[in-house]
Structure 1
């Protein structure tokens, strides 16, 4: 089966390229190969490669910059998925579109269900919600997979930023009043390939690792696991202190609570999600061995 992946250089697309199952030919394209904001380029790529499915991992993810780069965020996160959905509908190609917890306002106190009404707080979330709406309207049989707090052993993400800062500083303040679930690209990639192999799956699903945490909890776990695996300088002894969102102002508002309910995904794919702490250990073990 030939699968096309957009956003080749992003951390999710890189993980997908590392975990290709038998029987799948994966073609990963970057923006130079395929600019999804161009309807013509999308049609040309689909005609040339003739994939059975497309995994849209391309996204504008600079949450704070999006507040001042609205047109760019909407082009990639809304117009891009719209172009892909139209081409997929025209050519009979399956679409798996990756979305985000930022489509919600974070005011819930229980995990968000896939069918819950979206209420984004900022431009990034608005643009991703617009992309979801376009895909649903044009191609109802598409799969929209929302995730949150994504990290991997490589690339720019919270885990690697924390590891760098822990080797540079003796004290860190980390936000403790935003609650979600750290999610490894390993989990996402494995789940996406399960979706690919289940053609009857369609609609909106949520995918994160299991459990919940604050960013502070996540940082403490990174420190403890990294220390144990020798990923930090020997003499490093970092004090990690909890701070409030108000103590770390950003241009874009973050959801205070962005835990996603994964029960429909687990039931329809018949698998179990691991707790985020277990997965973090595995990711850092990979990093330690690289």
Structure 2
């Protein structure tokens, strides 16, 4: 890392769910320079190179991605540019200046067919354009810059941006019944948890006397526990009722359906359960259960 009193931290996707929270969590660690697509078009490699060379950050944190999973099936070129090429360029430019690159990936790199929890040593087998381009980004980052952290996560939600939780909350106030998939399993993970853990690990990096020996690599980073989309929606309903929302449905009005009843362009992994033992051990972390994040975000939404 470059020698200076106050580290520079470049954050992409500042208006996304995770990018929004990172600006808060990283502000205590250094000077945060946050950009969005208006300030740097990540589909343009030269724009990325110019940005990094101009800012010369000590740390690059890249949550920006093409995350519209179904759209990616028909937007292969754009998904590849944002999910595979952009991370490669960031990694190359970070390597030139000795910067750490923190990059986020996804449960979609797996096919979801495993029984039990996926570890970092399991072989990826993505089934969608989104998953394939995200895996390509992982491989590019790892090859181009040894100073990298890749955090695979799942089912991200937050008070800022669009997500399943907010969609369910809105529909529960509009509809008399809901059908929700019950045969896909994972851990809903709040953007604030991702941002806070990222900040904790970057703080350890900045304190590290021997940064060459830091625990770089790929880690699974999700909240504790597991649920289905149906179980997730049911908790949202329970909390909304307690918080005094005027709902048109109760828990029993949320029908559990198989994913085959809800066809979508991109296949979803049936099993998105990610084992987090590696990250907890490497950095001395204890990750909260997924329900805590749902309660936290719904409280923030209720407060407006």
**Whole-angstrom distance in 1 between the partners of 2:249 and 2:108:** 34
2:69 matched residue in structure 1: 63
Between 1:211-220 and 1:236-245, the stretch displaced more is 236-245
Is residue 219 from structure 1 mapped to residue 225 from structure 2 by the alignment? no
CA contact (8 A) 2:113 2:270 kept: yes
CA contact (8 A) 1:195 1:201 kept: no
Q: CA deviation at 1:128?
A: 0.2
1:284 matched residue in structure 2: 298
Alignment counterpart, residue 245 of structure 1, candidates 256, 259, 262: 259
2:169 matched residue in structure 1: 163
Residue by residue over 1:239-262, the C-alpha shift from the partner in whole angstroms, topping out at 9 and shown as x without a partner, is 101000000000110000010010
Alignment partner of 1:19: what SS? Answer: helix
Is residue 44 from structure 1 mapped to residue 14 from structure 2 by the alignment? no
Alignment partner of 2:28: what SS? Answer: coil
1:206 matched residue in structure 2: 220
CA contact (8 A) 1:46 1:87 kept: yes
Between 1:173-182 and 1:235-244, the stretch displaced more is 235-244
**Whole-angstrom distance in 2 between the partners of 1:38 and 1:185:** 26
For residues 129 and 234 of structure 1, do their structure 2 counterparts lie closer, same or farther at Cα, with a shift above 3 Å needed?
A: closer
CA contact (8 A) 1:154 1:160 kept: no
Is residue 14 from structure 1 mapped to residue 28 from structure 2 by the alignment? no
**Whole-angstrom distance in 1 between the partners of 2:240 and 2:286:** 26
Alignment counterpart, residue 3 of structure 1, candidates 3, 9, 19: 9
Question: 5+ residue gaps in structure 2?
Answer: 1-6, 206-213
**Whole-angstrom distance in 2 between the partners of 1:214 and 1:273:** 19
2:208 matched residue in structure 1: none
Residue by residue over 1:67-96, the C-alpha shift from the partner in whole angstroms, topping out at 9 and shown as x without a partner, is 111111001000000110110111111100
- Tell me the number of residue pairs that the alignment of Structure 1 and Structure 2 aligns: 289
Q: CA deviation at 1:268?
A: 1.2
Q: CA deviation at 1:22?
A: 2.2
Normalised TM-score (structure 1)? 0.96
2:123 matched residue in structure 1: 117
Alignment partner of 1:64: what SS? Answer: helix
Question: 5+ residue gaps in structure 1?
Answer: none
Normalised TM-score (structure 2)? 0.92
**Whole-angstrom distance in 2 between the partners of 1:228 and 1:24:** 40
CA contact (8 A) 2:151 2:220 kept: yes
CA contact (8 A) 2:169 2:236 kept: yes
Q: CA deviation at 1:234?
A: 5.7
- The 5 A counterparts of 1:265-280 are 265-280=279-294
Alignment partner of 1:156: what SS? Answer: coil
Is residue 255 from structure 1 mapped to residue 261 from structure 2 by the alignment? no
Ranges of 4+ aligned residues in structure 1 off by more than 4 Å: none
Alignment counterpart, residue 153 of structure 1, candidates 159, 165, 168: 159
Alignment counterpart, residue 38 of structure 2, candidates 32, 35, 47: 32
